[in-house]
Amino acid sequence: MSEAGESRPARLNVGVVGTGRVGAVLGAALNRSGHRVVAGYGVSDASRERAEALLPGVSLVEIDEVFARSDLVLMTVPDDVLPGLVDGLVSTDTVRAGQFVVHTSGRMGIGVFDPATRAGALPLALHPAMTFTGTSVDVQRLEGATFGVTAPEPLWPVAEALVIEMGSDPVRVPEEYRGLYHVALTHGANHLVTVVNDAMDLLRAAGVEQPDQVLAPLLSAALDNTLRQGDDALTGPVSRGDSGTVADHLREIRRVTPELEPVYTALARRTATRALASGRLQASDAESLLEILATRTR
């Protein structure tokens, strides 16, 4: 396994605090790579069902018992819960010296583990840059996915090896850039879901019964072209400075889904800005377009 293989961590007893979509899947991936999930914690019926499906035979116990049984504890809890949970675990002497504590938050680095680190724990931040369904399909999707990794330098080989063992690629994210890293992923992935669903709603309003079939080839090509070509992949009326078409679009949106108008306007203005900066749109062609878009924002 090249350099990472030389630092491959010993087979670890793993605990999962939060057997939701992410925790159960990553636990299954670690199991598959040769580690052993020995305990989990999940409260909701959905979390318990995922644990039963993805981590068969693993006992669901209280959090302190998960820590007592584990060499590495994967804490897949909501971001806002994590700091208070860490403080509580440290104050009750639940975290042991030499124990790996790992979270999967995108926006947080290892600083959230400072109280545990002072108690001797070994902190890792491993964020999978993918979306999860909470099923076995996700375990396969980890193959070739990327993890944003923040770790103390001495622990980097361990973090790298854990990610590679799950079939994924580690990318270093410095502590001070975790927030920027996360907003990039959120803006690209979560807002994409919103835009695509809005587009499908508009197609349904236009009488198209299967909008997904119409959009799938177009969006797949647009995404592929953008990842390969950047702003050169841009097409459509904004890139052409076709202000009449954009004005028609706004009239149709206002008629059918008026709450979408400010979203379309904001995205069209941002698209025009990028098109101008990249030379796809000439300033002389953009004047009337930007005037229409400015009018719609007032």
Give me the helix-helix angle, 191-205 and 211-229, nearest 10°: 140
pLDDT of residue 285: 86
Would you give the end-to-end CA distance of the chain in angstroms? 58
Under 8 Å between Cβ of 272 and 296: no
For CATH 3.40.50.720, list the domain ranges present in the chain. 2-173
Please say whether the dihedral angle defined by the alpha carbons of residues 275, 276, 281 and 285, taken in this order, is positive or negative.
positive
CB–CB of 39/61 below 8 Å? Answer: yes
Domain 181-296 fold is N-(1-d-carboxylethyl)-l-norvaline Dehydrogenase; domain 2 (1.10.1040)
Q: Is the pLDDT of residue 198 over 90?
A: yes
Specify the amino acid at residue 49.
E
pLDDT of residue 10: 78
Q: What's the CA gap between 181 and 148, in Å, rounded?
A: 8
**Residue ranges of the chain that CATH labels 1.10.1040:** 181-296
Q: Long-range contacts: 93-98, Cβ < 8 Å, 24+?
A: 93/119, 94/63, 94/64, 94/67, 94/68, 95/67, 95/119, 95/120, 95/121, 96/67, 96/120, 96/121, 97/121, 98/122
236 within 8 A of 276, measured Cβ to Cβ: no
Find the mean pLDDT for residues 226-236. 95
CA distance 176 to 181: 10
4 pLDDT above the threshold of 90 = no
Instruction: Say if CB 14 and CB 124 are below 8 A apart.
Output: no
Mean pLDDT, range 179-203, rounded to an integer: 97
Between the alpha carbon of residue 191 and those of residues 67, 194, 195, 196, 297, the distances in Å are 36, 5, 6, 9, 20
Is the per-residue pLDDT at 231 higher than 50? yes
CATH of 2-173, one of 3.60.21.10, 3.40.50.720, 3.40.50.1820, 3.65.10.10: 3.40.50.720
CB 196 within 8 A of CB 204: no
**Tens digits of residue pLDDT in 64-105:** 999 999 999 999 999 999 999 999 999 999 999 999 999 999
**Does pLDDT of 272 surpass 60?**
yes
Give residue 202's pLDDT.
97
What is the spatial distance between Cα 241 and Cα 220, in angstroms, rounded to a whole number? 24
pLDDT of 296 reads 56
**How far apart are the C-alpha atoms of 212 and 199, rounded to whole Å?**
9
Mean pLDDT score across all residues of the chain: 94
pLDDT at residue 298, rounded to an integer: 47
Model confidence, pTM:
0.87
